[in-house]
Amino acid sequence: MSSKPVTLNLQQLDFEQIKEIIPQRFPFLMLDRVIEIEPGVRVVGLKNLTGNEWFYQGHFPRKAITPGAMICEAIAQTGIVFFHLSRPGHEDVTYLMGSLKIRFLEPVWPGDQLRIEVMPIKVIANAGILNATVTVEDRVVTKGEFALAAKENGSL
């Protein structure tokens, strides 16, 4: 395998660029890279899970398994990136999840790489219903729909 670093182009976001968009930080940053961007159409993000993730300490001490809540967080953060890139010019915004209908189809383990694809179902100026499909090695492990609202800071 080549040790050459991955070259990021305008259709991708690296970890530092993601941090410019989403406000979450350790231990709640659940997105490592955005690998596909079609503004208003879809965004695909990656999250690499290592056995060192903080939540495996308690979930569970004898058998590490990824909490569904953290997968939902990865979905929400990919949704924020989708929304941000679809609405240029809105920088000072807080994103709130309004609802979530989710189905966990397979367990997710340390060492898995989550591929999170978010696509719009219905998007308006300041909110959207989005569809999310999470895969690990082409197997769908989680899928669902969620609602995200964008609130200009100062309006909260």
Partner 1 sequence: MSTLNAEQEVKELIADIIEMDPNEIDPNAHLVEDLGMDSMMALEILAALEKRYKIKLPEEELPKITTVNRVIELTKKYVE
| Contacting positions for partner 1 (CB under 8 A) | 98-99, 121-122, 124-125, 127-129, 147, 149
State in angstroms the smallest separation of the CB of 148 from partner 1.
Answer: 9
CB of 119 to partner 1, least distance (A): 13
Q: CB 93 → partner 1: shortest distance, Å?
A: 16
- Cβ-Cβ contacts under 8 Å for 32 (sequence gap 6 or more): 15, 18, 45, 46, 47, 48
Q: Which of 19, 33, 42, 59 is catalytic?
A: 59
Please choose, from the candidates 119, 123, 122, the residue with its C-alpha nearest in 3D space to the C-alpha of residue 133. Answer: 119
Distance (Å, whole) CA 7 – CA 109: 28
Q: What angle do CA 95, 112, 13 make, to 5 degrees?
A: 45
For the question of residue 59 being annotated catalytic, the response is yes
Catalytic residues: 59
